[in-house]
Amino acid sequence: MAVSLMSMIAIMARTHGFGRDQNFYGPVLFSTFKCAFLSLLTSVIIVGGILLSGFIPTEAAVAARAWALFLGILVCRTLTIPGFPPVSFDTIGTTAVGDPDCDDLILLAVGCIMEPVAAITILVPVMLPTLI
């Protein structure tokens, strides 16, 4: 299937006169493959670390973040130290649900000191009217 798709794209590119984006260079292929392969190892680190009891899921997230920083700064060189804060704030902005309000702070405090099942059992009937 992949060969047929590549053939179709090559034929269409030649008939419509599309030029190449850039010429092929072996060192560019090697550096791209190196970054891609090492980036794909992130999932191996996460799943392998959890399955081999190396760390828990929360620690796996920290390990994946450290691995991504290592790759971005030292291996692929796509992330610089001055460029790190804007990337971090952009990530925080896209992953944050909203502004923390009183309900969020209460849930955070209760979640730090109570078991999840007990906290849900107690807080859902109390907080459900305020959240609707």
> pLDDT, tens digit, for every residue of 58-67?
889 889 989 9
Question: What does the pLDDT read at residue 106?
Answer: 85
When pLDDT is cut at 50, 70 and 90, the band that residue 131 belongs to is low
When pLDDT is cut at 50, 70 and 90, the band that residue 88 belongs to is confident
When pLDDT is cut at 50, 70 and 90, the band that residue 35 belongs to is confident
When pLDDT is cut at 50, 70 and 90, the band that residue 47 belongs to is very high
* pLDDT surpassing 70 at residue 96: no
Cα angle 23-10-34, degrees, rounded to a multiple of 5: 45
Cα separation, 132 vs 130, in Å, equals 6
In 3D space, the residue among 68, 118, 59 whose CA is nearest the CA of residue 91 turns out to be 68
Kindly report the three-state secondary structure assignment for every residue of 72-119.
HHHHCCCCCCCCHHHHHHHHHHHHCCCCCCHHHHHHHHHHHHCCHHHH
pTM score: 0.54
* pLDDT surpassing 90 at residue 3: yes
